[in-house]
Amino acid sequence: MIPSLSEKYAIDALKYILEKGRIKKTDLLEIITSSWTLDKLIPKLERDGLLEVKESTMGRRTYEISLTPKGRSVAEQLKRAEEAAKGESVEISDQEARDWAARFREATKGMSLLYHVNVYQDHVSIGYDIAGKNRITNVYVRVNGKGIMRLWCEEDESFECIHVQYAWTLPKVQEMYANNVRNGKVRE
């Protein structure tokens, strides 16, 4: 856990900077109620490696704030989590897909992964081996009230874990999704 994310307005500030790009420090007063709060928050986010702050003294002293690569990654993940919680569909770019694949390879290094996969009508069973122990995880199909199909992992109790992300890469799951769209059960 990144300590500064528990601070009031921290998440809102990161999402705001993600949306706006490089900003002036005073721009954050649109979402943060006081200069005092802002002056306490910015150094904490900077110390945790989420923000880069550049001081300029051309005339009046000003501060330009931008997200570091780590800050951008965290802000994007927070934004996706918020969208997922609202039941909105989340699209990722080709670069994000490549980044995810790299993180997946790193996370599964040393694992003898996937000895069995079954795709059923309402769930996917993934059998894998970690350190010589066989495990089976079920990932269930969930359609929310807005007609959006989501996958939910029973092991991690998550819509976004590595098992769910892997399940979306399976051709049979993609075919299941396409069939549900054709049959009007889910929307694109």
- The whole-number pLDDT of residue 143 equals 75
Nearest CA to 150 out of 132, 127, 173, 182 is that of 173
pTM for this one?
0.48
Average pLDDT over residues 1-20: 88
- The whole-number pLDDT of residue 91 equals 64
- The whole-number pLDDT of residue 187 equals 62
Q: How far is CA 11 from CA 36, 61, 64, 97, in A?
A: 17, 26, 18, 24
For the chain, which residues make up each domain, given as ranges? 3-74, 103-182
Instruction: Identify the band that residue 174 occupies on the pLDDT scale cut at 50, 70 and 90.
Output: confident
Task: State how far the Cα of 31 lies from the Cα of 20, in Å rounded to an integer.
Answer: 13
Q: How far is CA 41 from CA 35, 46, 53, 82, 186, in A?
A: 10, 9, 12, 21, 42
User: Is 3-74 assigned to CATH 1.10.300.10?
Assistant: no
In the predicted structure, residue 138 carries a pLDDT above the cut 80? yes
Higher pLDDT, 185 or 34: 34
Tens-digit pLDDT profile for residues 72-111: 888 888 887 777 666 655 566 777 777 777 776 666 555 5
CB 56 within 8 A of CB 63: yes
In the predicted structure, residue 69 carries a pLDDT above the cut 80? yes
Place of tokens 């609202």: 86
Average pLDDT of the chain is: 80
